[in-house]
Amino acid sequence: MTTILPTQEQQQALAQTVNLAEIEALGRARLDRNALEYYASGANDGHTLHANRENFGHIRLRPRMLVDVSAIDISTTVLGLPLDFPVGIAPSAFHGLAHPDAELATARAANAAGSVMTLSTFSNTPIADVGQAAGGRLWFQLYLLADRELSREIIARAEASGARALVFTVDAPYLGRREANERHRFALPPHLSAPNVATPQELAGVETDTGSQLTNYFQNLVDKTFTWNDLAWLRQQTTLPIILKGILTAEDAELAVQHGCHIWVSNHGGRQLDTAISAIAALPEIADAVAGRAEIYLDGGITRGTDVLKAVALGARAVFLGRGALWGLAAGGEDGVRRVLELLRDEVRLALALSGKQNLGQVGRDLLKM
Ligand SMILES: Cc1cc2nc3c(=O)[nH]c(=O)nc-3n(C[C@H](O)[C@H](O)[C@H](O)COP(=O)(O)O)c2cc1C
Ligand SMILES: O=C(O)C(=O)c1ccccc1
């Protein structure tokens, strides 16, 4: 396995960044239109994409003063796995569009930063290789395929590769319309494949007549019949904890708990149902419904340490970065993702201290004015 080292200029530019927005600018500048539109797009008009970020801004903090904040602890655990800070990496397809080291770079960065990486079913790197790079800090995201036998094989490979949880994505029986991708016929470049689900030969035969190549390919593979009743089947296929990713209501959170699953609050980064509620706005009713019976995570629009604190205050055990990690990967491979994680870690620590809290256990709704 090769590792592509960043140039000196890249390293310097990365080292000078002071926030995630600057890394995003560096990352965007290194991507071609095909990849950039795929990463950046939301569905349709982008209402939910924007609301994910904007709604954090509507929540105000109520910091307390004259607290001894000489020692700050931002560590936590997710399903028993210790994290240095409450931030992981959300699953996203095709890291090879951002950097030649692809998912290996992301996994190494997550491991080095004491975080956790969630590997997409549609990675460009086989699960087993990513498992090695992640050093045990790995969750696996599952798209359930119409081919149940193949789904079982993928789950077994994820287990054998050291994944500690199965993140079952439930918000994408069909893909939302990312119109920029459709307009410009997004396509996976020929040197990239999706080795967990298909051979390069199978990918080469993908229909391109209507919509984007990606949409057709995805929609032919994924199971659209799966319901709550089928979760018992999934439960039988694995001993790993199951997390349902894409929950946005108290009703579905209650069902998730009844089915023995943990909950990942998400609208897929605004890429699925446009005008769906933002992730942070959905969190309070979900936390109330769950009432401590399962772990809750959230993704969507996280770019600042204060975003992380707000999600924790509303009941999330940890949050996950989608595009943030991809911008870092494009900006500088492993180093870029690490920079993203470390900047955010430092922001969380400072925000916690300035809020008058010593650890995440002290962060509750009294920190917020909604
Ligand atoms: C380019 C891209 C690809 C994605 N691919 C997947 C995927 O394969 N599986 C999945 O469950 N979610 C996927 N997602 C959704 C992310 O896991 C996550 O929910 C979302 O990006 C979080 O929002 P953020 O980008 O604002 O952090 C993808 C998101 C992006 C931006
Ligand atoms: O782009 C996505 O959001 C996504 O989830 C996906 C994953 C694999 C193939 C196509 C789309």
Half-sphere exposure of 336 (CA within 13 A, CB side): 36
Determine if ligand 2 sits within 6 Å of the CB of residue 218: yes
Average pLDDT of span 217-223: 91
What pLDDT score does 211 carry?
61
- Condensed to tens digits (0 to 9), the pLDDT of residues 327-337 reads 999 999 999 99
Indicate if ligand 1 lies below 6 Å from the C-beta of 39.
yes
DSSP label of 273: S
Q: Kindly indicate the confidence band of residue 10, based on its pLDDT and cuts at 50, 70 and 90.
A: confident
Grade residue 206 by pLDDT with cuts at 50, 70 and 90: low
- What is d(CA 114, CA 81) in angstroms, rounded to the nearest whole number? 10
Each residue's pLDDT tens digit, 337-366: 999 999 999 999 999 999 999 999 999 999
pLDDT digits 0-9 by tens, 254-273: 999 999 999 999 999 999 99
Distance CA 146, CA 222 (A): 5
The residue count for the chain: 370
Please tell me if the CB atom of residue 172 comes closer than 6 angstroms to any atom of ligand 2: yes
Is the beta carbon of 39 within 6 A of some atom in ligand 2? no
Mean pLDDT of the residues in the chain? 95
Quick: pLDDT tens for 79-127: 999 999 999 999 999 999 999 999 999 999 999 999 999 999 999 999 9
Q: Report the distance separating Cα 82 and Cα 71, nearest Å.
A: 19
Per-residue model confidence (pLDDT) at position 202? 73
Q: Find the mean pLDDT for residues 207-218.
A: 70
Q: Which CATH class is domain 41-369?
A: alpha beta
Instruction: Tell me the CA–centroid distance for residue 66 and ligand 2, in Å.
Output: 47
Largest separation between any pair of C-alpha atoms in the chain: 65
CB 97 within 8 A of CB 192: yes
pLDDT at 204: 66
Q: How large a percentage of the chain has pLDDT more than 90?
A: 91
Q: Which residues contact 162 (CB under 8 A, 6 or more apart)?
A: 131, 134, 136, 138
Q: Quick check: 207 pLDDT over 70?
A: no
pLDDT band at 216 (very low <50, low <70, confident <90, very high): confident
Report how far ligand 2's centroid is from the alpha carbon of 366 (Å).
37
pLDDT of residue 219: 87
pLDDT grade, residue 3 (50/70/90)? Answer: low
Active site residue 259: no
ipTM value of the model?
0.99
Q: What ligand 1 atom has the least distance to the C-alpha of 245?
A: 11
Q: Compute the average pLDDT of residues 310-320.
A: 99
- Taking alpha carbons only, the member of 39, 135, 49, 134 closest to residue 94 is 39
SS3 16: coil
pLDDT band at 199 (very low <50, low <70, confident <90, very high): confident
From the CA of 272, give the closest atom in ligand 2.
3
Mean per-residue pLDDT, 275-299: 99
Asked whether the predicted pLDDT for residue 145 surpasses 90, the reply is: yes
Q: What is the mean pLDDT of residues 53-77?
A: 98
